[in-house]
Structure 1
């Protein structure tokens, strides 16, 4: 029997871990660290209660900055018979190509022997990675890994003794399959009902021009700037995200400009704005602030949001996820708020939920919806009744081929008050691990398509278009999106 009880405690500048085996004469372990993200020190001890002696003892130091990590550890069996001193170094040479180097040196005082290992890793392209290492004994190893499809990787490795490379060479290969879509535990939230089909049919399609760039500061602050051109109107926003433990704070500033206004305007930011020899009207709209606390308690998330200068925009939201339920409740922070509640019960296979909103000022329900979903390994079906029972929506999502991210989906929408039906079908397929195409068409004859290419890790270029097949004489709509991340 190998049962063990372990306790972990973390603070801003220290952490501790204690464990004990659930046996008659257990081994008791204790480790602790103190310091910062730049420099820290710690120790670890194991006590064998059966013999009353230390079975292991180690002490270590670490130092790190933006692109390097160095460590030094001294470990021993506890009786001083086999002390070993180990030093390691890791350096990020070029993050854009995932080029890293590392080294490890160890010295055993009892045998007075030392070993040394150096290695490197480099991405030849976004699909191919090579690694190499060699030690002081002359044993050299290398591997190449190629991403055949988004969830299929092929790895070929070799190892040889450089003193007799032909006779000692060994080879190995590995074909690994990791499906991107896994059955999640629990029914999720009400907003998750039908979400897969909605994302397949509507996500990334657009008729505007959008540019987004994200940068990260050395302290981990993420700054995202985006601009969207809708005809002659340009919308821009800057989002700053700070993360500290389980608390995430987002600040978002929206601005608005119109290039048709031919007057020189003084912006709220304190600058005169002028572009291409024509005056541009620029206006600060809102400052959005969102504070999210993850795991405030097991399964619980709290979200506080508000925008300045709107004094009636405050909102508090609480989400709770359980193996057999998902609950979301929110209320406006005003004298007469709108209270919203949604709940789902069931499992990751079948679930039923409802979503209601109540206006405390008028005493009326402003929204009441209901929905149910069914899912298995390769399909998800959902049925929802929305708009106070006026709209019935059914959706279907099917995984055709996981290795190439090939999916199909459909959505049927029935409005009882207007007797209008809307039917949309769509599909997605990965041409290669970096390029994805999507297409959709509805019963009104509107056909859309897009192609999205990941030209470098996390940076996407998307080109989309839409045409009315019943009015081909009208010009098609085109959209362009460019997202840059380091």
Structure 2
């Protein structure tokens, strides 16, 4: 039986990951470590447009309480640190409802944010997802009702590594439509290829290989098919996890 989203942020996530995740325009190196006590430590280095930056992040999770510490170092070594803690609930109110009928799961979600001083809404979003064992369709109304996005994902294998995806997004304030199609294909159990193309001429490709368990090398590129004289964007990432 398929499972529906557990949080509102999961609505439409399958299509979003296929169309955006791993499409890089920078160079990134990341190493993560975990301990049984609930402490996770991640160090990352990113080089983009000739500038380098790095960060070290630590997270401690115990039941429904979490604490995060992150120290960033810019190219000119201007460090700054931030400490955040979350206890038991999200800052923005959320409503989630999941209903399963046979092999289909229907999930509804809504999220709102507000200013504590004035009580005014700063954002409100709603969405619905229908999930089947081999497909998923989602509709999200966002940006205070200014945009609507519909997406469809169809999986080609049981592991859900090979898939086709389509997305239509409309912004009402500008009457602009963006249509994106793409997908992923598992060349072998360790190697994945992803492609995407939208109606504005943006074409992207990703090649990802799992060098060892949970550790990935990713190479991506993106270029404008309507302006081939422009220099394509290239990115690379190495992520090492225990």
TM-score by length of 1: 0.46
1: distance between equivalents of 2:160 and 2:142?
Answer: 34
On the 8 A contact 2:19/2:182 being kept in 1, the answer is yes
Aligned counterpart, 1:465? 221
1: distance between equivalents of 2:198 and 2:230?
Answer: 18
In structure 2, stretches of 5+ residues that fail to align are none
On the 8 A contact 1:404/1:432 being kept in 2, the answer is no
Query: Is 2:25 the counterpart of 1:207?
Result: yes
On the 8 A contact 1:187/1:345 being kept in 2, the answer is no
The change in CA–CA distance for 1:426 and 1:253 in structure 2 (over 3 A counts) is: same
The change in CA–CA distance for 1:382 and 1:218 in structure 2 (over 3 A counts) is: closer
The change in CA–CA distance for 1:218 and 1:410 in structure 2 (over 3 A counts) is: closer
1: distance between equivalents of 2:63 and 2:10?
Answer: 26
Aligned counterpart, 2:96? 344
Query: Is 2:31 the counterpart of 1:232?
Result: no
Query: Is 2:193 the counterpart of 1:441?
Result: no
1: distance between equivalents of 2:156 and 2:183?
Answer: 10
2: distance between equivalents of 1:354 and 1:388?
Answer: 12
Q: Displacement, 1:362?
A: 2.8
Query: Is 2:2 the counterpart of 1:183?
Result: yes
2: distance between equivalents of 1:458 and 1:388?
Answer: 38
> What is the 5 A alignment of 1:124-143?
none
The change in CA–CA distance for 1:419 and 1:219 in structure 2 (over 3 A counts) is: closer
Bigger RCO (CA 8 Å, 6+ sep): 2
The change in CA–CA distance for 1:231 and 1:365 in structure 2 (over 3 A counts) is: same
RMSD across aligned positions (CA): 2.3
Q: Displacement, 1:443?
A: 0.6
On the 8 A contact 2:64/2:88 being kept in 1, the answer is no
In the alignment, which of 162, 165, 187 is matched to residue 431 of structure 1? 187
On the 8 A contact 2:46/2:53 being kept in 1, the answer is yes
> What is the 5 A alignment of 1:91-170?
none
In structure 1, stretches of 5+ residues that fail to align are 1-181, 258-280, 291-303, 305-315, 319-328, 331-339
Report the 3-state secondary structure (helix = DSSP H, G, I; strand = E; otherwise coil) of the residue aligned with 1:361: coil
Report the 3-state secondary structure (helix = DSSP H, G, I; strand = E; otherwise coil) of the residue aligned with 1:402: coil
On the 8 A contact 1:253/1:288 being kept in 2, the answer is no
CA offsets per residue over residues 375-405 of structure 1, 9 Å max, x none? 1111111111111211111111111222572
TM-score by length of 2: 0.89
The change in CA–CA distance for 1:366 and 1:483 in structure 2 (over 3 A counts) is: same
CA offsets per residue over residues 191-241 of structure 1, 9 Å max, x none? 111111111111111100101123457978543210111213222111224
CA offsets per residue over residues 101-156 of structure 1, 9 Å max, x none? xxxxxxxxxxxxxxxxxxxxxxxxxxxxxxxxxxxxxxxxxxxxxxxxxxxxxxxx
On the 8 A contact 1:345/1:353 being kept in 2, the answer is yes
Further displaced range: 386-395 or 445-454: 386-395
Aligned counterpart, 1:370? 126
The change in CA–CA distance for 1:412 and 1:435 in structure 2 (over 3 A counts) is: same
2: distance between equivalents of 1:244 and 1:189?
Answer: 19
The change in CA–CA distance for 1:470 and 1:433 in structure 2 (over 3 A counts) is: same
2: distance between equivalents of 1:413 and 1:397?
Answer: 15
Report the 3-state secondary structure (helix = DSSP H, G, I; strand = E; otherwise coil) of the residue aligned with 2:74: strand
2: distance between equivalents of 1:218 and 1:191?
Answer: 27
